[in-house]
Structure 1
Amino acid sequence: MPASPATPIRLVLVDDHEMVLHGLDAMLGHFPEEVRIVGQATTAAGALTQVSEHSPDLVLCDVRIGKESGLDLCRQITAQYPGTKVVLLTVYDDEHYLYQALRVGASGYILKRIDGQELVGHLRRAREGETVVDHALAGRVALSAARLSAGEFWSGAHLGLTQRESEVLELLVSGHSNKAVAGRLVVSEDTVKTHVRGLYRKLGVSDRSGAIAVALREGLFH
C-alpha cells in the first residue's frame, strides 16, 4: 500500500563524502514534514545495513561511492529490498550513466546542483512510482529517443557509446588490433586506446573479451 502523501519520506543518504551528507541533511532539514532522514552511510556495505535496519522508502546515493559503484548498490537494493526505491544524486551529467541507472532499476537520476525544493519534489514523485530525471538531462534523453525511433542512432547508443566508440567496438569484434583500428579510422593508436578505455568504462568491463561479449549479447553488430 503506497504511503500517504502526508507521511514524510523515510530516506537513507549514501555518499562517500561526509561533507555532502551534512549538506544534504541540512538542506532536507528545511522540509521536516516531507522528508525524514532515517540513516546515512559512506559505503555500500553501510548502505545495505541501513536499508536492512530501517526499511526506508528511498535511498539517495551517488553513482560512485569511493571505489565502489552506486549502480551496483542500486541493483542490490532493488533486488533484495523491493519495497525500497533508489534515486541517484550525482555530478555526472552524462547520458550513459543515466541509461545504466535505469537498467539497474533506479527510480531517478538527479544532478547535485539541484535545490532543496526541487529535490524534495523529485523524491516525492519517485516514492509515488514515477521515474524522475534531472531537467538538464531530460531534454537530451528525449532527443535521443526521437533520434532512435527515426533510425538515426548507431549501435550501442542506448548503452551510452559515442558513435566513434561504437565504430571502434565493431572493429574490435571483427578481430582488429588497436593498430589496425587506428589505420581503418585514420587516427592515432593513442586515440584508439582512449576510445577503448571509454567504451570499457561504459560497458562495465575491463578487457577486450568482456567488451566483445557485451556486444554479442546485446546484438549490436550483425
Structure 2
Amino acid sequence: MPEVTPPLRLVLVDDHEMVLRGLDAMLAHFPDEVSIVGHATTDAEARRVVAREVPDVVLCDVRLGKTSGLDLCRDLTSAQPTVKVVLLTVYDDEHYLYQALRVGASGYILKRVDGRELVNQLRRVREGETVVDAALAGRVALAAARLSAGQFWSGAHLGLTQRESEVLELLVSGHSNRAVASKLVVSEDTVKTHLRGLYRKLGVSERSGAIAVALREGLFR
C-alpha cells in the first residue's frame, strides 16, 4: 500500500483573533492535509506553543502588535531548527520580503491567498522549499535581472524603490520637499508619501536620519 503522508502540523500566530478564526475556517476544508495544533496572539505565547507542539510549520504575521513577527521568526528558527516559519502578511513590499528571508523564513505569502493555494504552499515548505507570493517573486526576479545587467539603483539593497532612491538623492543634495517635487514633477504630497516609505525602510523618523544612512552607506557618490 502507498505510504500515507500525515497532515502537516501547523501553528497560527496573529495578533487579531478574527484572522485566526478566518484561517481556522479556511483550513478546516483540508483536514487530511493540515492539522492546526496551536494558536497564539503574541510572540511570548507563540514561543510557548511552538516549544510545546514542535509543529512542522508556523504561519505568522509580520506585525504582532508592538512586536515583530520577523524577530519571532529569527528566534524560532534558531531555537527549533526543524520548525519552518512562513510569514503571512498584507505587506506587498520587497523590503519586508528581503528581511524575512534574512531572518530564516521559509515563505512569504500575502493574505489574499486562497485556501487551496495556501495548503499547497505550506506543503512545499514542509518538503524543504522556500515559497514567495507570485507577484512579489516576479518583481524580485525583475530586480535580479536589472542587477545582473548593471541597471540597479542606489539603495535597492536596502529595499528602496527607484523613486524613493531618487527622492533620497535629492535630500542628500539639500533639496526641500517643494524642490524635490519640482525636480520629479510630482506633488509635495507624493514626495511626503515617498519620504514615509523610505524612512520606514531605513529605520529612521526624519530627514536628517535618512541623509545620515545614505552617507554612511555611500549610496550617492
* Pairwise same-fold verdict (TM > 0.5): yes
> Match for 2:118: what amino acid?
L
The structure-2 alpha-carbon separation of the partners of 1:190 and 1:22, relative to structure 1 and needing over 3 Å to count, comes to: closer
Indicate if the aligned counterparts of 2:177 and 2:192 stay in contact, CA closer than 8 A.
no
Indicate if the aligned counterparts of 1:13 and 1:59 stay in contact, CA closer than 8 A.
yes
Q: Secondary structure at the match of 1:88?
A: strand
Query: 1:211, 1:138 → 2: CA distance?
Result: 28
Alignment partner, residue 25 of structure 2: 26
The structure-2 alpha-carbon separation of the partners of 1:173 and 1:26, relative to structure 1 and needing over 3 Å to count, comes to: same
Q: Secondary structure at the match of 2:85?
A: strand
Give the RMSD, CA atoms, in angstroms: 2.8
What stretches of structure 2 of length at least 5 have no aligned partner?
none
Structural mapping, 1:150-189, within 5 Å: 150-172=149-171, 176=174, 178=176, 182=180, 185=183
> Match for 2:167: what amino acid?
V
Corresponding position: 1:145 with 2:144: yes
TM-score normalised to the size of structure 2? 0.83
> Match for 1:145: what amino acid?
A
Number of aligned residues: 218
Indicate if the aligned counterparts of 1:60 and 1:88 stay in contact, CA closer than 8 A.
yes
> Match for 2:57: what amino acid?
L
The structure-2 alpha-carbon separation of the partners of 1:207 and 1:115, relative to structure 1 and needing over 3 Å to count, comes to: same
Indicate if the aligned counterparts of 1:13 and 1:60 stay in contact, CA closer than 8 A.
yes
Alignment partner, residue 94 of structure 1: 93
**1:139-178 alpha-carbon deviations (Å, 9 max, x no partner):** 222212111211112012233212232133345556x375
Query: 2:187, 2:44 → 1: CA distance?
Result: 42
The structure-2 alpha-carbon separation of the partners of 1:137 and 1:195, relative to structure 1 and needing over 3 Å to count, comes to: closer
What stretches of structure 1 of length at least 5 have no aligned partner?
none
TM-score normalised to the size of structure 1? 0.82
Indicate if the aligned counterparts of 2:170 and 2:180 stay in contact, CA closer than 8 A.
no
The structure-2 alpha-carbon separation of the partners of 1:36 and 1:170, relative to structure 1 and needing over 3 Å to count, comes to: same
Query: 2:24, 2:76 → 1: CA distance?
Result: 22
Query: 2:43, 2:102 → 1: CA distance?
Result: 19
Query: 2:77, 2:102 → 1: CA distance?
Result: 11
Query: 1:123, 1:130 → 2: CA distance?
Result: 9
Indicate if the aligned counterparts of 1:85 and 1:127 stay in contact, CA closer than 8 A.
yes
